[in-house]
Amino acid sequence: MFPTLDPLLHSELRLAVMSLLISTEEAEFPYIKEQTGATAGNLSVQVDKLSAAGYIEVEKTFKGKKPCTICRITPTGQKAFEAYIQALKAYLNITK
Amino acid sequence: MFPTLDPLLHSELRLAVMSLLISTEEAEFPYIKEQTGATAGNLSVQVDKLSAAGYIEVEKTFKGKKPCTICRITPTGQKAFEAYIQALKAYLNITK
DNA sequence: ATAATTTGGTTTATAAAATAAACTTGTTTA
DNA sequence: TAAACAAGTTTATTTTATAAACCAAATTAT
């Protein structure tokens, strides 16, 4: 009846991050921070969780002399995001 | 960009309860428990929260000699549910 | 030159939430 | 009348989300 909602995605900030990455394919940490309005600390933690789950990959490079953290969604992450949307539909009463 | 998701609704069990009540208009505690698969304790807590927020109303009656707890969604609850769905859309990239 | 500020984060501590286990009250059944 | 059951509630535990504090390097101001 009500499928479980992937707890990794059922989180406001992580969902926002995934939402951004689904459409941009690649985004830098400060950009995600600005778009989501999150604090750096919170974002850092949530990015780690998504990365640990294999939903995104995180590349640490440099932009000139400044460190630069780039995030990309993985195929696993895309599938999980799609599945989450499908599961949500059971809750949102599309059965009107 | 990403609107805040009503924390009262952004909870798996509370969302399931609201989802049920949106379509049934009235449901007994044991029925909700069965449909959601929740434990009685968890359900009791979450029903209290929805009730405290004015999203549902809880009527305690008897069915013969047995206590019977009936839940109904309120107009406030209906509006909040609709608003939650709208807010979610910003996260789910309907912009394909 | 060096002190102060900014950038780009991470780590740690705290507050809030979700969840289940344990308990209560009354009823039905053995 | 003792045991089991129904319908919840309360309490305790675990998880989670979040921000505050921190760190290192680079840039800017004095």
pTM of the model: 0.94
Closest approach of B57 to chain A, Cα-based (Å): 20
Question: Each residue of B50-83: pLDDT tens digit?
Answer: 999 999 999 999 999 999 999 999 999 999 999 9
Element (H, E) at A63: strand A56-63
Within a domain: A17: yes
Residue B72 tokens, joined: 């109904």
For residue A13, say whether its CB is under 7 Å from any atom of strand D: yes
- pLDDT at residue A96, as a whole number: 40
User: How many domains would you assign to chain A?
Assistant: 1
Q: At what angle do helices B12-24 and B29-36 cross, to 10 degrees?
A: 120
Query: Contact A12/B19, CB-based, under 8 Å?
Result: no
Q: Return the SS3 of B65.
A: coil
Residue A79 covered by a domain: yes
Q: What is the pLDDT of residue B94?
A: 59
Q: Do B4 and A12 touch (CB under 8 A)?
A: yes
- For residue A49, give its domain range: 12-88
Average pLDDT in the B16-26 region? Answer: 95
Q: Are A39 and B5 in contact (CB under 8 A)?
A: no
Of the listed ranges A51-55, B9-13, B40-44, B63-67, the least confidently predicted one is B63-67
CB of residue B90 closer than 7 A to nucleic acid strand D? Answer: no
- B21-25, B55-59, B89-93 — which one is most confidently predicted on average? B55-59
Domain membership flag for residue A82: yes
CA atoms within 13 A on the CB side of A45: 6
Distance of C1' in D12 from CA in B45, Å = 14
Q: What is the pLDDT of residue B29?
A: 98
Interface of B with A (CB under 8 A): 1-2, 4-5, 10, 12, 15-16, 19, 22-23, 35-37, 85, 88, 90-93, 95
Can you give the pLDDT at residue A51? Answer: 98
Q: Tell me the per-residue pLDDT of A32-84, one tens digit each, with 9 for 90 and over.
A: 999 999 999 999 999 999 999 999 999 999 999 999 999 999 999 999 999 99
* B3 domain-assigned: no
Give the CATH number of the domain where residue B49 resides. 1.10.10.10
Residue A36 lies in a domain: yes
Dihedral class, residue B7 (left if φ above 0, else alpha if ψ from -120 to 50, else beta): alpha
- On whether the CB atoms of residues B42 and A40 are closer than 8 A, the answer is no
CB B47 within 8 A of CB B31: no
Strands of B56-63's sheet, edge to edge? Answer: B27-28, B66-73, B56-63
| Helix/strand/coil for A7 | coil
pLDDT, residue A1, reads 86
Residue A96 lies in a domain: no
Q: What is the DSSP string of B42-85?
A: HHHHHHHHHHHTTSEEEEEEEETTEEEEEEEE-HHHHHHHHHHH
Q: Is the CB of B43 under 7 A from strand D?
A: yes
pLDDT tops 60 at residue B12: yes
Reading the block at residue A38, the tokens are: 């999150």
> Which residue's alpha carbon is at the shortest distance from the C1' of D22?
A41
CB distance A58 to A27 below 8 Å: no
Cα atoms in the 13 Å half-sphere on the side-chain side of B90: 14
The reply to whether B2 falls in a domain is no
Size of interface A-B (CB pairs under 8 A): 48
Token code pair at residue B53: 């927020």
Q: In angstroms, what CA-CA distances link A14 with A34, A78, B90, B92?
A: 14, 13, 14, 12
Average pLDDT for residues B37-61, to the nearest whole number? 98
